Structure 1
Amino acid sequence: MDRPRRPGASSALRRSAALGSAALDLSAEISRREARRRSAALRARAYLIVQCALAAAVAYSIARYVFDVAVPLFAPVAAMITLGMTHGQRLRRALEITVGVGVGVFVGEIIVHWLGMGWWQVALIVGVSMTIAAALDVGPLLITQAGVQGLIVALLSANSTLAFGRWFEALIGSTAGLAFAAIVPTSTVLRPRARAIALLRDVSDVLTRTAAAMTNKDQAAVEKALVDARATEVAFNGLKGVTADSREILRLTPLSTRRKAAIATVASMLEPLDRAIRNMRVLNRRAAVCL
């Protein structure tokens, strides 16, 4: 004969099944939000990808068809490096990258042209390139970049009969990259206000859902709101980046001066918005603990 079930066994099973179902729903929701986040990140970078491609093509064309460089390698590479690392304070970072690339290529050309190529020349190229870049007070990554560019010149492309040709090529590419960084904004640079509005709507939505979940004692809804609250940090960092980019561009682009007031307003609200987002996350975590 079957043993009689305890009265609480069926309710415990139902609670376990409900918790498992809620966990699966939460996991699916997180996966969907992560997919949307990655898709949004790709769309945000699409213009930068096109920008790098065009800058590389322009740098190649100038080196190949204007200055008759047989194999323009360093021009498109320097243009891509200059553009690819300039999110936030675009022009300052682009100038630093130009200096790092130029120093490395220049030192590599000089040493190979006058001293030839060997193991001690490799050490000398790296040491001198990084020392000069450090003395010019560029960032640590760009100090390393100076040594890397010097090695590329020495090991792959340097020609002792064509002094400074690769350095001039890198200068062409860096100049093209600077031009694109200053003149052609990314797709989101001129829309910091729209990003701020979207972020504020997300904050409002999270707080509204948290309040409703506390009223209804719905722990699953609080957990979902907490996931969304944590996602606002990425959106806030993106807002800071595009605001910094816009302010840099507006310093050099007179045609966009009418946007200065709107961008200044967004910049002035970054600090209080950051505090509001941090407080919102704390509130959500405490709400989850309470339930």
Structure 2
Amino acid sequence: MPPEDSPTSSFDPLRPRLLRIAYRMMGSAAEAEDVVQEAYLRWHQTDRASVRDAGAMLVRTVTRLCLDILKSARVRREQYMGTWLPEPIVEPMEGDDLTLTLMMALERLSPLERAAFLLHDVFGMDFDEVARAIDRDPAACRQLASRARGHVREARPRFPVTEDQGRALASAFFTATRSGDLGALQALLAQDVIMYSDGGGKAKAALNPIYGLEKNLRFVTGLLQRSGPNSSRLVYEGKIDGLPGFVTVEADGVWQSTALAIEEGRIVTIYVTRNPDKLRALLRSLHEDTPS
């Protein structure tokens, strides 16, 4: 057990919060872990006796590290093969209700807007604290958060479903898409449904979003013709980044997560992640939760 005045003993209680901030900023569990580890190394080298508020200092450190990385991440995402989606996670994020849909909305913001919104609206910091974290004055932080809030408000579901309804619809979607029951599938999908599929050039996936009911039905039909019905193995059912969904092993041996945004009892957006690099943290978490 580390001594009470060690960097580890003062850092570890703050680690979960720092990881949540970094993940929401980056959209990547792996990058969030790297950022928090770098913050720990810097904390190790800090004169900790002179720090009045370790939590505030470490949030500031993590936020600035994320902002630095996001500058280059934006360029990398513009060069990404196909659709870029945030890494899916199955562990609940305590203290916020940001779903994968809302994280996609945050992707359209500037890094500073994203930071101001997350720190104030999601993690409950006052604007003086936010200003110190992102090195802007409080009035500018209010404006940044306000602009971000407008984007997030537009992305929130107008008629959300209950958790039980979401689970039932996700289960029905899995059954319909794997059995080839297109009538049942059509009844589940909104007319303007969109499917996003992220393979990152490392697993086969649709390069562009698939818009509309008819195109999505044709896409599923094509998949079934190639793989045959009931060729997926269901590994997990539950929340994926706050949305109802499931994890499967597909006919081609690729692990895949599927998350569904639902409004008024219909699926409006389908998020499919097949890039193996983005599934590592999710699969590690599933294996840890699965009894041996």
TM-score by length of 2: 0.26
Q: Higher strand fraction: Structure 1 or Structure 2?
A: 2
**Greater Rg by CA:** 1
Report the TM-score when normalising by structure 1. Answer: 0.26
Structure (1 or 2) with the greater helix fraction: 1
